[in-house]
Amino acid sequence: MCRACPSRRWLLGALAAVPLAACSENVETGRNQLILVDDGQLAGLADQAWSDLRGKTPLLRDPEAQARVGRVGAGIAKATGRTDLDWGYAVFDSPDVNAFVLPNGKVAVFRGLLDAVRSDDELAAVMGHEAGHVVARHAAERVSQQLAVQAGVSLAQILLSEQAGENADEIAGALGMGAMYGVILPYSRKHELEADVLGLTLMEKAGHEPRAAVAFWERRIAEAKGQPNVPEVLSTHPADATRLARLREAVQTSPSASGGRG
């Protein structure tokens, strides 16, 4: 076995030190996270992304709908305690049954979602989920994981270049695929489940009924029955059955489970 050159030894040491230097506990999730980027960096990128979205995607011309989303969203935002963020909401004129959040607290809701929810409680379930991503710092964790994977693959490529020769790129590519299916995608599915559970807590703090989240997803899953699905192992999101089971379990353990609301 050949001895690594000083530069390679330095790279190995630096890469090994990164997780120790950047690992911190998130009080919202109760687990450690690898964070290599700060919230300020992501917020700047998110500001630009939000500006681009508003410039390219038409807003829904319905003041009542915009006000409704803003009202429900404001309650969820207050429940997060993240007063450092400039939370903002917009309903875009698209049939997609979807919503997403940026790490700067800007939430996009599509017209299709408003058509799909049957109450403010169901809307709060979706918006609570999106806010859950923010308080859990999922965006920072995802970017950090991707940076770490890229650094690891690049380092492997350097270390393999002499021994593997022309096969180094193929081996590095295989390592990258392994990281994608072994780290990136599993964590993405974990993030979605965490956001679901955090969303239940946030919507309840904001005065909404957590069981509405279960009702919404039960209906959405029933409507999608028979449609082709990507296998869970290849998806960024957990399987519908996994997601629904976790939601039901979390609702059963929520403070309002015993008596509900009148």
Residues annotated as part of the active site: 130
Burial 48-84 (b: 16+ CB within 10 A, else e): eebeeeeeeeeebeeeebbebbbebbebbbebbeeee
Report yes or no: 238 and 189 within 8 Å, Cβ to Cβ: yes
Q: How far apart are CA 146 and CA 71, in angstroms?
A: 35
193 contact partners, CB below 8 Å, separation of at least 6:
238, 242, 243, 246
Q: How many CA atoms lie within 13 A of 63 on its CB side?
A: 0
41 contact partners, CB below 8 Å, separation of at least 6:
none
Helix 120-135 and helix 211-223, axial crossing angle in degrees, nearest 10: 100
Report yes or no: 216 and 120 within 8 Å, Cβ to Cβ: no
